[in-house]
Amino acid sequence: MTTKELADLMFPDITKTIEDYEKEYPERPEGTVVTRYAPSPTGFMHIGNFYSVVCDYVIAKRSNGVFFLRNEDTDQAREVEGAVEYIMHVLDHYEFHPDEYEIKGGETKGSYGPYIQSERKDIYKAFIKYLIAEGKAYPCFMTQEEMDVIRENQSKAKVRIGIYGKFAKSRNLTPDEAAEKIKAGEQYTVRLKSEGNFNNKFKFNDLANGEMDLHENDIDTIIYKSSTELPTYHFAHLVDDHLMRTTHVIRGQEWMSSIPTHYELFKTFGFKMPKYVHTPLILKKDGDKIRKISKRLDPEARMTYYEEKGYPIYAVIEAIMTIANSNYEAWREGHPDAPFTDFEFSAKKMSPSGALFDLDKLDNISKNYISRLTKDQVFDFLNTWTKEYDEEFNAVINKDVDYTKAILNIEREQKKPRKDYSCWSDVKNSIWYMYNDLYKPESYAWGKINDLNEIKDILDKYINNFYNESDDKEAWFNHVKELTESLDGYTSDMKAYKENPDNYKGNVADVSTVIRVALTSKDQTPDLYEIMKLLGKEEIVKRINSL
RNA sequence: GGCCCGUUGGUGAAGCGGUCGAACACACAUGCCUUUCACGCAUGGAUUCAUGGGUUCAAAUCCCGUACGGGUCACCA
């Protein structure tokens, strides 16, 4: 029996050849950059995955290339329901619309599909069949137990672990012997018949890490699983990225050690390898230790975190870009309004070591961004977010939209606007007291003046003698000063106070704090004058009286 | 254990043999401004680039060893 006949025996139904597929999926136009995001639907999206997506997207879009989504569902045991929908949701939320994709049983876009691996079985089989026929792969009948024993012995003997050379028991079976076992119904996987020599080295260029010297692969890697009739990742990567004409593979650095395998696989078929960018791990500081950010332990590892907190997508993308290319910030300064895809992204500039995702930095980027927005934009964002995550507050802000916008506009329309919020969930905490419906103070943050009788005295005086609703800001403040001067031992002259603080009981600041706290229960707020103007006389009197 | 990658301040980092007396940004501290907070402005912090050797007139930058951190060695991706 020839290997060709063995191949026919193993895959009798497969009639298409790899040449057929080659024709079916022709090369894309010369020079097109093609990237892909290829997640396995096993749960929530991790910030590390998102990092890859951002890179995929800029690299493709910078050159008007193609960015597609491929669903790697070859491990059915680990598949989680709804995971694909969630991935699509995240891409949609961040406006990374893939040019080609496919939803199981639903819409599909692009002519290099199917884009779901479980629907590509026949394609993989054709490629496996070819390899068997060529004698470059073989059916392997080793059981899990046998392999465990080999591994154990290798470990004891301090020898390289894996199925290679003499450890590959089925490697030298003749086609007849193999055929006999198959006919007898024995379970088998398909392994690559590696021609590599571990003692030989080859040069490999990773776009992010630069040139590396690697040992050739000599392991007879499993490329086809017996249980599911599906290929392993390594083989699917080869077939899919070749046929889909991917030019740049951006993936986590945990794949780096598979390069020798992939290198041999591509060489075996004579296919051109795509370019690779292995992205660094996202790390996190945990006490004194720095460790890999973990989906289980760190809420910020999951992309849901940023949506739930209400970070603008702009800020999240900027933060990632800043980690990816450290010259990004400088570029952004010179191009404040350009889309991030205009940035000349360079894989070379990516740090090969792990990056610590800095939430402080995210907050800073976000605050700056939000501070530049108009009140209408802020309102729209806030409205959208609260609709999803805080219905009660959503109702409150919509009761009087103009009023809400006026609040959001305090100290906004000026050259250096306030930077109060980094995410939409921050807003309620800093403006709740502006709404009658929400204003139910639990305690008052009195400052230096905390004697209730004295406070009552000050407030009475203020309301009766100094408060005038129609005052402009200057007049308003002059009144507060006059109030201060009328009090025994207080001064409105800050300079004098600072020179001899011991000569006074307090100053204007202390007096305005009393008013501030009386009206808002907080000792820190934006401009008091603006707040009082918005609150209006009726509410001001009401709040002071109810004290 | 084998193989691979990495190690510059609190954080992200720039640096690619002399211009490094180590940029920039964030964070932090102090001060100024100021009715509070925030904003803004100013100032400060690495006697040194994990460490030990070597090459060189000259090293954070090149070479070797060591330590530490990480990844990987699945019919998981």
**A369-414 tens-digit pLDDT:** 999 999 999 999 999 999 999 999 999 999 999 999 999 999 988 8
Q: Are A421 and A367 in contact (CB under 8 A)?
A: yes
**Scanning the structure block, which residue is given the tokens 């996202």?**
A282
Question: Which nucleotide is closest, CA of A510 to its C1'?
Answer: B35
Q: Which amino acid is at A44?
A: F
CA dihedral A151, A153, A159, A164 (to 10 degrees): -50
CB proximity A411–strand B (7 Å threshold): yes
Residue A320 three-state SS:
helix
pTM of the model: 0.89
In the prediction, which pLDDT does A292 show? 64
Question: Which nucleotide is closest, CA of A278 to its C1'?
Answer: B5
Alpha carbon distance A394, A387 (integer Å): 6
Question: Per CA to C1' distance, which residue is closest to B73?
Answer: A161
In the prediction, which pLDDT does A377 show? 94
Question: Which nucleotide is closest, CA of A228 to its C1'?
Answer: B75
CB proximity A356–strand B (7 Å threshold): yes
**Scanning the structure block, which residue is given the tokens 């450290």?**
A326
Q: Which of residues 206-265 of A touch strand B (CB under 7 A)?
A: 209-210, 212-215, 222, 225-227, 230, 232-233, 253-258
Alpha carbon distance A520, A522 (integer Å): 5
Task: Give distance CA A343 / C1' B37 (Å).
Answer: 37
Better pLDDT: A159 or A500: A159
Question: Which nucleotide is closest, CA of A283 to its C1'?
Answer: B70
| pLDDT over 90 at A44, yes or no | no
Phi-psi region of A43 (alpha: psi -120 to 50; beta: other; left: phi over 0): left
| pLDDT over 60 at A286, yes or no | no
| pLDDT over 60 at A309, yes or no | yes
In the prediction, which pLDDT does A140 show? 94
Q: Residue A281 gets which letter from DSSP? A: P
**Scanning the structure block, which residue is given the tokens 């136009």?**
A29
Task: Give distance CA A37 / C1' B22 (Å).
Answer: 39
Supply the mean pLDDT for chain A. 88
In the prediction, which pLDDT does A293 show? 65
Take residue A343 and report the two structure tokens written for it. Answer: 């940035």
CB proximity A297–strand B (7 Å threshold): no
Q: Which of residues 377-406 of A touch strand B (CB under 7 A)?
A: none
Q: Which of residues 67-106 of A touch strand B (CB under 7 A)?
A: 72, 74-75, 78
Task: Give distance CA A315 / C1' B19 (Å).
Answer: 37
CB proximity A285–strand B (7 Å threshold): yes
Alpha carbon distance A266, A239 (integer Å): 9
Print the SS3 string covering A346-383.
Answer: CHHHCCCCCEECCHHHHHHHHHHHHHCCCHHHHHHHHH
Q: Which of residues 471-530 of A touch strand B (CB under 7 A)?
A: 473, 477, 494, 508-509, 512-513, 516, 523-529
Question: Per CA to C1' distance, which residue is closest to B72?
Answer: A257
Question: Which nucleotide is closest, CA of A232 to its C1'?
Answer: B75
- Confidence at A303, pLDDT banded by 50, 70, 90: confident
Question: Which nucleotide is closest, CA of A227 to its C1'?
Answer: B75
Q: Are A110 and A68 in contact (CB under 8 A)?
A: yes
Take residue A214 and report the two structure tokens written for it. Answer: 């690697």
Highest mean pLDDT among A101-115, A298-312, A383-397, A487-501: A383-397
Task: Give distance CA A246 / C1' B57 (Å).
Answer: 51
In the prediction, which pLDDT does A489 show? 82
In the prediction, which pLDDT does A322 show? 87
Task: Give distance CA A510 / C1' B34 (Å).
Answer: 13
| pLDDT over 80 at A356, yes or no | no
Q: Are A266 and A238 in contact (CB under 8 A)?
A: yes
Interface predicted TM-score of the whole assembly (ipTM), two decimals: 0.88
Give pLDDT tens digits for A85-132. Answer: 899 999 999 999 999 999 888 889 999 989 999 999 999 999 999 999
Alpha carbon distance A464, A195 (integer Å): 95
Take residue A317 and report the two structure tokens written for it. Answer: 């993308």
Task: Enumerate domains of chain A plus CATH numbers.
Answer: 3-13+121-226 (3.90.800.10), 299-371 (1.10.1160), 375-433 (no CATH), 452-545 (1.10.10.350)
Alpha carbon distance A343, A326 (integer Å): 12
Alpha carbon distance A370, A422 (integer Å): 7
Direct distance between the N- and C-terminal alpha carbons of chain A, in angstroms, rounded to an integer? 98
The CA-based angle A529-A530-A535, given to 5 degrees, is 100
Q: Are A385 and A370 in contact (CB under 8 A)?
A: no
Question: Which are the contacts of A70, defined by CB distance < 8 A and separation ≥ 6?
Answer: A36, A37, A38, A101, A115, A116, A117, A240, A244
Give pLDDT tens digits for A316-340. Answer: 999 988 888 878 888 888 888 889 9
Question: Which nucleotide is closest, CA of A154 to its C1'?
Answer: B1
Maximum separation of any 2 CA atoms in chain A, in Å: 112
| pLDDT over 60 at A213, yes or no | yes
Task: Give distance CA A151 / C1' B77 (Å).
Answer: 22
Rg over alpha carbons for chain A, rounded to the nearest Å, is 33
Give pLDDT tens digits for A4-34. Answer: 999 999 999 999 999 999 999 999 999 999 9
- Confidence at A306, pLDDT banded by 50, 70, 90: very high
Q: How many Cα atoms occupy the beta-carbon half-sphere of A329 within 13 Å?
A: 11
Task: Give distance CA A329 / C1' B19 (Å).
Answer: 25
Highest mean pLDDT among A89-98, A288-297, A346-355: A89-98
Residue A359 three-state SS:
helix
Give pLDDT tens digits for A225-254. Answer: 987 889 999 999 999 999 999 999 999 888
Q: Which of residues 38-67 of A touch strand B (CB under 7 A)?
A: 38-40
- Confidence at A262, pLDDT banded by 50, 70, 90: very high
Give the mean model confidence (pLDDT) for residues A281-306: 68
In the prediction, which pLDDT does A175 show? 93
In the prediction, which pLDDT does A163 show? 93
The CA-based angle A257-A77-A171, given to 5 degrees, is 50
Take residue A346 and report the two structure tokens written for it. Answer: 């360079």
- Confidence at A209, pLDDT banded by 50, 70, 90: confident
Take residue A83 and report the two structure tokens written for it. Answer: 């995971």
DSSP string, A129-170: HHHHHHTSEEEE---HHHHHHHHHHHHHTT---SSBGGG-TT
Better pLDDT: A210 or A367: A367
- Confidence at A190, pLDDT banded by 50, 70, 90: very high
- Confidence at A501, pLDDT banded by 50, 70, 90: confident
Alpha carbon distance A444, A430 (integer Å): 15
Q: Which of residues 160-199 of A touch strand B (CB under 7 A)?
A: 160-162, 187, 189
Highest mean pLDDT among A147-156, A261-270, A442-451: A261-270
**Scanning the structure block, which residue is given the tokens 């800001």?**
A473
What is the DSSP pairing of strand A101-102 with strand A108-109?
antiparallel
Task: Give distance CA A362 / C1' B23 (Å).
Answer: 22
Q: How many Cα atoms occupy the beta-carbon half-sphere of A53 within 13 Å?
A: 24
- Protein contacts on strand B: list nucleotides below 7 Å from a Cβ: 1-8, 10-15, 23-27, 34-40, 69-77
The least confident of A47-51, A87-91, A290-294 is A290-294
